[in-house]
């Protein structure tokens, strides 16, 4: 299936919008699982279906077909789109409440930890800062936390051992904590 996805992404890179739609359809179940993990608290007005569909619209709806080179690149782009959607939603919720201070949060190794909107906005700001200093660790956080991928799924995508990824995850969590203080 990975080969089929790569071929379809190559076609999409040449401007074939239908190929990107086929990739999306093939990976829809994985994207929904990821979205369910992100929205596990059930208190959000976002649903997994809405989140996945919004991510699709961000990826494919603008008219221009994004240049996606591989399954890894597709998931990284989808994770980033879902992150933006969830953070935008959190910002809207905060705007409705007129603020509230940013607070320190613990990034647990458990995925889909419940985050309040103010915590999610703080995490997003810290992640942007981390990305300027260490793009590889930012990508790891996006794929692990926002896309919900476990270490076994990350090894082939990132080309690093599970042990290395665990060390980098711990370092990224510590860096995000410092950036959020």
Per-residue pLDDT tens listing for the chain (181 residues)? 566 888 888 888 777 778 888 888 888 888 888 888 777 665 567 888 888 888 888 877 666 666 777 788 888 888 888 888 888 888 877 776 654 444 545 555 443 456 677 778 888 889 999 999 999 999 998 888 888 888 998 999 899 999 999 999 999 988 888 888 7
Report which secondary-structure segment, H or E, holds 156. helix 151-158
Q: How far is CA 142 from CA 13, 62, 181, in A?
A: 23, 22, 20
pTM for this structure? 0.56
């Amino acid at each position: 299936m990975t080969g089929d996805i790569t071929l379809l992404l190559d076609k999409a890179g040449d401007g074939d919008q239908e190929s990107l739609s086929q990739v999306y359809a093939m990976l829809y179940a994985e994207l929904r699982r990821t979205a369910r993990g992100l929205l596990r608290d059930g208190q959000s007005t976002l649903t997994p279906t809405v989140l996945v569909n919004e991510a699709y619209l961000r990826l494919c709806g603008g008219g221009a077909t994004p240049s996606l080179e591989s399954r890894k690149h597709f998931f990284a782009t989808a994770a980033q789109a879902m992150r933006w959607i969830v953070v935008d939603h959190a910002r809207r919720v905060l705007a409705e409440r007129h603020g509230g201070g940013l607070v320190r949060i613990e990034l647990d190794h458990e995925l889909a930890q419940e985050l309040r909107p103010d915590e999610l906005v703080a995490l997003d700001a810290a992640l942007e800062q981390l990305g300027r200093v260490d793009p590889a660790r930012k990508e790891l956080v996006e794929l692990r936390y926002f896309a919900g991928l476990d270490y076994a799924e990350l090894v082939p995508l990132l080309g690093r051992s599970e042990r290395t990824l665990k060390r980098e995850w711990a370092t990224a969590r510590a860096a995000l904590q410092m950036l959020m203080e």
